[in-house]
Structure 1
Amino acid sequence: MTDAELRAVSFIVPSGFDDPQRASGGNVYDRRVSDGLSRLGWTVRMSQVHVDDPSTVHSVLSQVSDGELVLIDGLIAGRAPAAVEIASLRLPVVVLAHMASGAFEDADPALIEGERRSLRSARQVIATSDWTRSELVRRRVVAADRIIVATPGADDAPMSTGTSAGGALLCVGVVAPHKGQDTLVEALATLCPDHEWTCTIAGSLDTRPDFAEQVERLATMSGIRDRVTMPGVLAADELDRAYRGADLLVAPSRSESYGMVIADALRRGIPVVASDVGGIPQTVASSRAAILVPPNQPKALSDALRRWMVDPALRARLAADARRAGSHLPRWSDTVARIAQALAGVR
């Protein structure tokens, strides 16, 4: 096998993974890995398939030449376990696990079983957080020695300019139940009217339109709709502007494997108020720039936001800690190098 063949990989990702209107942590991760491997000299053969179409996954895998390396997004692998099991008999298959489905209360049992089957048949598993790895091991889905961790990176970015009062709040992520924007709106509704604040909730409104409408309706009924902006998915330059003007990132998630937007905020020197859930504590473990609160508890979140707004010394300390923490976060080049090393090891 030639050197070029050794540095080739078929990468199977969800359809629309590079569509800005379908922005998600998993899609961003896949896109950065694809681009990064190409820059390192890998030949990356991309295949986009619908996550709920196992027959297409089987068709794509059947067209891969014997012995060729396959990297498949776990969101697809868990829904097409039979295709992965069959392919693994003649192909070195590596599954990119963005999450451990069994750790989430509302997970589909069929998906949990599909994830178990596909990960067990893979030659190697790449987890995108230490938390995901620990959950897969704890639930006996995969042995620890078959999982490596490649956490998401964060790009260098200009420091936030923010405001003097600390009232520019930003929440980034698909508007869906697991991201907890309803909890955020409930928390904001109980803040003293004298507090000067605005909140931008940036993220897709189309993934769960019923939930997005619920959040907007809740803001209206609470009398704070004029302070809450829900622009949908922001283009890259618009999102950069939102970060530059933000004082605080709020991540009220009910479940989270890592928290890429938290890393993006810290890279810009923006402190964080977030749920103490999933991989978030590990994301902020190296800093003191975050206030963690129990998930799904509006009062606890409201109390944390109130502390932030009324205490200038707290704001200054957290902002300084965020600037220090951001300089030590992994970069996407580190993430890709780790994955390239794992793929070469499988070879």
Structure 2
Amino acid sequence: MTGGPSVRFVVPAGVDDPRRVSGGNVYDRKIRDGLRDGGWAVTTIEAADAGAAASALRDAPDGGLVLVDGLVAGWAPDVAEEAATRVRLVVLAHMLVAAFPDATDAAVEAERRACAAALGVITTSRWTADELARRGLAEPDRIAVARPGAEPRDVAQPRSDGDLLCVGVIAPHKGQDTLLAALGQLDRRDWTCAMVGSEETYPEYAAAIARAARGFGGRVRLRGALGEDALADEYRRSALLVAPSRVEASGMAIADARAWGLPVVAAEAGGIPDTLAGGGGLLVAPGDAPALAGALRSWMTDAALRDRLRREALAVRPTLPTWARTVAAVSEVLEAA
């Protein structure tokens, strides 16, 4: 559609690359496509590094509206500050860099500068919004929340209660090492676990996870990054999603699991408790392998618990946010800018 409002959307390179599947990329695509369907003229610019990010911001026309992924904005905070003096800049903050224990002072400062320069900051969870305000990175009245949507799905049909699924880039903050340590503490062996996620972002960590997974005799399968259909097949045949993240803004995989009616065992990190509001999940402390093992053991041995979690997971499905609602929230912020 043409003739409507226009926006330049600056995103990380490879946003459409099936080998780089991530929650952030999925979210950016849904927003881009949803805005276009709603009448916006969206010009998408992909940036692979700081130089490309700086060029994308410098090339924005004076007075134009620019929506920039927070990851990209943090690569070139000085240019973001300069651009904010002549364009209407809105930052889409998928994650809070300052929440990562290994975040450098330079990265935290870059995030602060980019957020401070923007007219508005869009976050994907209430937790992120609250943290931005608490840390003084943006005033509360400049922060809006646009939670990830959930596509309506059929109810999952697992073959066994022990069919476990973990979805997310193989990375330290996603906690796959905690999950493997927990699985190693289980006495019973009638389970399988599929780990879905790119192994390219943190290759050394991913290699260590692959080595550890081989010790489970084939019960742990590293599936790599999957396309939409293959990922849907994994959800469809799973009984439980396990999300052991150490840091998480909201948890796109959890939102997807909710759409399938899948119960969830997750770390009580970041925005995960909000995403699991309404029931259907168990929460454990982040990085606590014994606690995670205990939750998984309870799931596998307690039929009443399984029945309750499944009932709750199915009951919450009609209340889940839609992508249309997410796009509308983003559109409202852009219109105000």
Q: How does 1:1-347 map to 2 (within 5 A)?
A: 7-50=5-48, 53-163=49-159, 165-193=160-188, 195-220=189-214, 223-285=215-277, 287-346=278-337
Task: Judge conservation of contact 2:53–2:75 (CA < 8 Å) in 1.
Answer: no
User: Cα 1:225–1:204, aligned 2, differ >3 Å: closer, same or farther?
Assistant: farther
In structure 2, distance between residues paired with 1:62 and 1:238: 39
Deviations along 1:58-94, one digit per CA (max 9) or x if unpaired, are: 3222222211100000001112111111111110000
TM-score calculated relative to the size of structure 1:
0.94
Task: Judge conservation of contact 1:174–1:202 (CA < 8 Å) in 2.
Answer: yes
AA matched with 2:332: Q
Task: Judge conservation of contact 1:189–1:219 (CA < 8 Å) in 2.
Answer: no
Post-superposition shift, 1:196? 1.2
Question: SS at 1:199's partner residue?
Answer: strand
User: Cα 1:225–1:176, aligned 2, differ >3 Å: closer, same or farther?
Assistant: farther
Give the gaps of 5 or more residues in structure 1.
none
Post-superposition shift, 1:5? 6.9
Post-superposition shift, 1:6? 6.2
Give the gaps of 5 or more residues in structure 2.
none
AA matched with 2:195: I
Deviations along 1:8-49, one digit per CA (max 9) or x if unpaired, are: 000000000111110111111101100000000100001001
**Bigger CA drift: 5-14 or 236-245?**
5-14
Question: SS at 2:149's partner residue?
Answer: coil
RMSD across aligned C-alpha pairs, in angstroms?
1.4
TM-score calculated relative to the size of structure 2:
0.97
In structure 1, distance between residues paired with 2:143 and 2:296: 38
Q: Percent of aligned positions with the same letter in both sequences?
A: 48
Off by >3 Å, runs of 4+ in structure 1: none
In structure 2, distance between residues paired with 1:121 and 1:17: 25
Task: Judge conservation of contact 1:216–1:225 (CA < 8 Å) in 2.
Answer: no
Post-superposition shift, 1:57? 2.2
Question: SS at 2:194's partner residue?
Answer: strand
Deviations along 1:113-151, one digit per CA (max 9) or x if unpaired, are: 011111111111111111110111000111100101101
Q: How many residues align?
A: 337
In structure 2, distance between residues paired with 1:237 and 1:326: 21
User: Cα 1:54–1:5, aligned 2, differ >3 Å: closer, same or farther?
Assistant: farther
